[in-house]
Structure 1
């Protein structure tokens, strides 16, 4: 139960991911990814060192490929999507990953789904689709740099994160200690910053971008990874995947509150569907559904 609660805490932190990423704009996506991971990885490494667990960073290449590829790949795709497409719609398309986690957990982890949990997934998916079809961002699509490319990147980000999350709990990776995430974050930072130097125009944060970066690194692109790792390895991935549908609702409301979209009937109806789906899945019996 504690592991699942840790995963829920990660979901709470991720509700602020889109807003903080938007506040850090217009930083190039790879630079934003690299700097946020540098903050999160440094804080994590300090905690690991204080606990005298630096030996946990010694992991085989496959583990590093999974950790660094999943973290760096997902966030680079996600930040690029937010830069190219209307933030509300891109954010919601990214949140195909809760549905994919619930569905992939069955074949990859041998966990049953059951009718009640599937019904909860269906309600959450309906809420996300309703939000997207409602076009709450109004005319933002016309002003976006490349909406189609942004939507494709957001969907790719969702697939990447779902695979990373579910595979973390498979037999080969489940024994990797959570402390190793600090190393993954720092390696992801180095990889993203190298990509920035090679492929993006030079840039550097200024003004409100610095507080947004520090908060990103401490929370959604830092502490949340450690909590999520615990939740996916020792908690219930089906329940966490379904409860994750609350994140796009909370994230959308935060974007709207800071002027990145507008609130309308579709958002309110979708929120009811998402919350109802999460509640339905949460009441599913662990042994049968």
Structure 2
């Protein structure tokens, strides 16, 4: 359980690179960038299948899983891009970041799962920290003229939390199946690009390397790690710990010289790490118990 949870959290760490690599990829339109990076992400899965017998194993995949997987990956990105285009980025991003809290709350409906007060409290601390990060410590307002953007941002949170929770119900489906979810998402993104956008290719080697990095990590390996984590790890802890993504992203931007450290960043750090530790307190205590028993009296 602990190893699977750590693998799932590695996806959160990779998602923290999303902002930096996206900014470095130049002016490539969102759906075109999605099509390219998910194609690379498909390649990550194909290479893993070629190199690892365990990853290559195949089982019959129910039709519902295809709907969940493709709907989760493509649906999330389609709704997120739509939200950002129809509402201010701060408010849209904050609403979209409800998905970790929804995962924690929704886990109470899953067979064999127990939702404790510390899971909910940890997720709420994380949400508060994410709010400080997304709004840069400032205020945010909601206006009726952006109703479409807010609604699609909320749907975005529902799609990703639903995808994560429903994936756990199909634990027997191998993670290698995510390869084909990425392939379908790449194809659908390419279609949306051709219909909705003008083509703009990355300019120069540095932008191409940023696109490659996106496809290998946050839009590639991260989805495989997340699938394994939510299927076999502690989903409540993963949900609460997911609020580390915007914090880590901000710290990476600061380290890269693209952002400045602030008091709100420190406060967010304390809220998010404290929330994640609170959500994981049972796991931490269980790991300490054997060591305590081994100490001679």
TM (norm. structure 1) is: 0.83
CA distance in 2, matches of 1:235, 1:123: 21
CA distance in 1, matches of 2:284, 2:113: 10
- Cα distance 1:132–1:215, how it changes in 2: closer, same or farther (>3 A)? closer
CA distance in 1, matches of 2:80, 2:258: 16
The equivalent of 2:295 in structure 1 is none
The yes-or-no answer on 1:195 pairing with 2:192 is: yes
The equivalent of 1:239 in structure 2 is 237
- Cα distance 1:119–1:135, how it changes in 2: closer, same or farther (>3 A)? closer
CA distance in 1, matches of 2:90, 2:148: 15
Indicate if the aligned counterparts of 2:92 and 2:150 stay in contact, CA closer than 8 A. yes
2:61 to 59, 62, 74: 59
The equivalent of 1:280 in structure 2 is 278
2:98 to 86, 91, 96: 96
Matches within 5 A, 1:38-117: 38-51=39-52, 56=58, 59-79=61-81, 91-117=93-119
Matches within 5 A, 1:137-156: 153-156=152-155
CA distance in 1, matches of 2:163, 2:280: 23
Cα deviation, residue 217, structure 1: 0.9
State the structure with more CA Rg. Answer: 2
Indicate if the aligned counterparts of 1:88 and 1:136 stay in contact, CA closer than 8 A. no
Matches within 5 A, 1:159-174: 159-170=158-169, 173-174=170-171
TM (norm. structure 2) is: 0.81
The aligned length equals 280
Cα deviation, residue 205, structure 1: 2.4
Cα deviation, residue 21, structure 1: 2.1
Indicate if the aligned counterparts of 2:133 and 2:250 stay in contact, CA closer than 8 A. no
CA distance in 2, matches of 1:151, 1:28: 21
Instruction: Please identify, of 244-253 and 199-208, the stretch whose mean Cα deviation from structure 2 is larger.
Output: 199-208
Listed one character per residue, the Cα deviations across residues 156-201 of structure 1 (whole Å, up to 9, x for unaligned) are 333221111111001xx22111111111111111111122112222
Cα deviation, residue 116, structure 1: 2.1
Listed one character per residue, the Cα deviations across residues 45-76 of structure 1 (whole Å, up to 9, x for unaligned) are 12213335666386333221111111112233
Listed one character per residue, the Cα deviations across residues 21-62 of structure 1 (whole Å, up to 9, x for unaligned) are 232242221111111100010121122133356663863332
The equivalent of 2:263 in structure 1 is 265
Indicate if the aligned counterparts of 2:84 and 2:92 stay in contact, CA closer than 8 A. yes
Q: Output the aligned Cα RMSD.
A: 3.1
- Cα distance 1:148–1:20, how it changes in 2: closer, same or farther (>3 A)? farther
CA distance in 2, matches of 1:94, 1:260: 23
The equivalent of 2:38 in structure 1 is 37
The yes-or-no answer on 1:20 pairing with 2:21 is: yes
The equivalent of 2:173 in structure 1 is 176
CA distance in 1, matches of 2:191, 2:72: 17
Listed one character per residue, the Cα deviations across residues 114-141 of structure 1 (whole Å, up to 9, x for unaligned) are 1222221222122223334545699xx9
The equivalent of 1:206 in structure 2 is 203
The yes-or-no answer on 1:250 pairing with 2:248 is: yes
Listed one character per residue, the Cα deviations across residues 254-289 of structure 1 (whole Å, up to 9, x for unaligned) are 34555665432222212211111111111136999x
Listed one character per residue, the Cα deviations across residues 212-267 of structure 1 (whole Å, up to 9, x for unaligned) are 11111111111111111111111110011111121111112334555665432222
Instruction: Please identify, of 257-266 and 105-114, the stretch whose mean Cα deviation from structure 2 is larger.
Output: 257-266
Segments of structure 2 that go 5 or more residues without pairing to the other structure are 287-297
Cα deviation, residue 89, structure 1: 6.1
